[in-house]
Structure 1
């Protein structure tokens, strides 16, 4: 015969188990975010033919990136309101993806300008500074219409010997997405980055040709 104390203990265990089961079922089920990336890998194909001049080495100095867009979330603006696209993220922080696209574009560049990485044993003639000031999807035609992706970069070139600025330009691309879907918006980001990199490398090559 089961003692009353044992019956009470068993009842308490059953109640605790039921309570735990109830807690587990109440935990929110989160949908995993879809990961995206932009490459701008074909930037060099949009460049004009470069004259046969000696190479010009550029050293990339510490640069800046729009803070709200520098992480792995995709920034949008609707009027005066900023928001991130739900359930969608960049595969890596946007600042990292942009740097990788920049390196690929210079590697494929047929012109004289060459980007020198930190620690690379090479003498550089110029220092390159980039300030990515805008990097977002702008819903300028309403929240249901395809947005326009805006990428704006201020580029400065300084002579390494004396740190005198020898060139400055603001590069900008505005690419309208083909649809108000994440995939189409990401494709617009990719094209905007490619367009800005074409302008940047052309600017760098022209400096090399004049030097």
Structure 2
């Protein structure tokens, strides 16, 4: 039982890691390092949430400025790494799978989103503006979006694999419990048999004693 419990705990921890990977949710510690709670809405998981956030970015300048400022905690050593990290934090792979940079192959256009302005602002606030071109920002985004379906597929396979392992371990635990119950039943039956035999022996002994008297 102890080994099975350990396996279950390990698989549950692995499932949690996969789920965290899928959402790439900003950690509480990172949010605490910001001056607002803006990042709690990120990463954006669904198209409906994206539409709501785009509408807010279009009308609420303060919200947009807070988002730009808070996303600054994800700035990396160079522009490319920073853009890739920002994409990971703002959008799930599932949602990103529906987008390409210009909307090619019947996908939606990322370059039409206000989020692109946000990313550009974060990058240009942290790196020398004159050295950061639109291409420096767009190329990593194109690459990240292009590989989003593959990342999402791997996440789904990982979750399925862990779920299957959990099911197998659960079945093993049930079988082990059944085996223990069978062992206990046999032991109890044997004990009952011994008690019954002892009672019979005592009754026979008592009967013999009475006859001898």
What is the TM-score when the length of structure 1 is the normalising length?
0.22
| Bigger proportion of residues as strand | 1
What is the TM-score when the length of structure 2 is the normalising length?
0.22
| Bigger proportion of residues as helix | 2
